[in-house]
Structure 1
Amino acid sequence: MPSIPSAESLSGWLSSRIAAYVQREPGEIRADVPLAEYGLDSVYALTLAGDLEDHLGLPLDPTLMWDHPTIAGLTQALIQVLSAAA
């Protein structure tokens, strides 16, 4: 059973990962800006989904990135998925 990280921890992890994909500093990535505005395309979204699965130890639907296009929205959706799996 996967442990449930805090929203702050998960949001920070997402910011760092996305910053690495788009070659920016994590502090430049805002939680309320759509990921597409940073140039995150479908390839990166699938890569992020795989990285999240590895990080969280839980299979995820890759469409989560499109259904929740900001870090803030994605973080909340992931917390709900993790809570349901616990």
Structure 2
Amino acid sequence: MGNITTQEAQDWLIDKIAHRLGVEPSAVPPEQYFDELDLDSTEALILAGEMENWLGFELQTTALWYHPTIKDLAAHLAEEVAQRASA
């Protein structure tokens, strides 16, 4: 996968989360904490799996702990993709 921007990662996350919650993407703020979202653990695992398929690599299990909002995780994902692309 080529580089992704923070905005692309954020849009992807918001679209997927909105779909799972059955709401419009505009109803999911980027500053939303993952633990405040109405996702159960199964949905969260499915989302993580979809994200890994999209990115092409496995996420660290601590990614959501250290990057607890959509915005923070999106920035981390863009950085991680850039690091892997340059390695």
Q: Is TM > 0.5 for Structure 1 vs Structure 2?
A: yes
Among the aligned pairs, what percent are the same residue?
Answer: 33
Which residue is equivalent to 1:40?
A: 39
Residue aligned with 1:5, SS: coil
What is aligned with 2:29? 30
Q: Distance in 2 between matches of 1:8 and 1:39?
A: 23
Partner of residue 70, structure 2:
71
| CA RMSD in angstroms, aligned pairs only | 1.5
Give the Cα separation in 1 of the matches to 2:46 and 2:10. Answer: 17
Other structure's SS at 2:64 match: helix
- 1:31 Cα deviation after fit: 0.4
| TM-score (structure 1 length as normaliser) | 0.85
Moved over 4 A (4+): none
- Count residues in correspondence: 85
Higher relative CO (Cα under 8 Å, sequence separation at least 6) belongs to 2
**More deviation in 43-52 or 10-19?**
43-52
- In the TM superposition, what whole-angstrom CA distance separates every residue of 1:23-82 from its partner, at most 9, and x where no partner exists? 111110000011222212332222121111111112222432233121101001111211
For structure 1, the 5+ residue unaligned runs are none
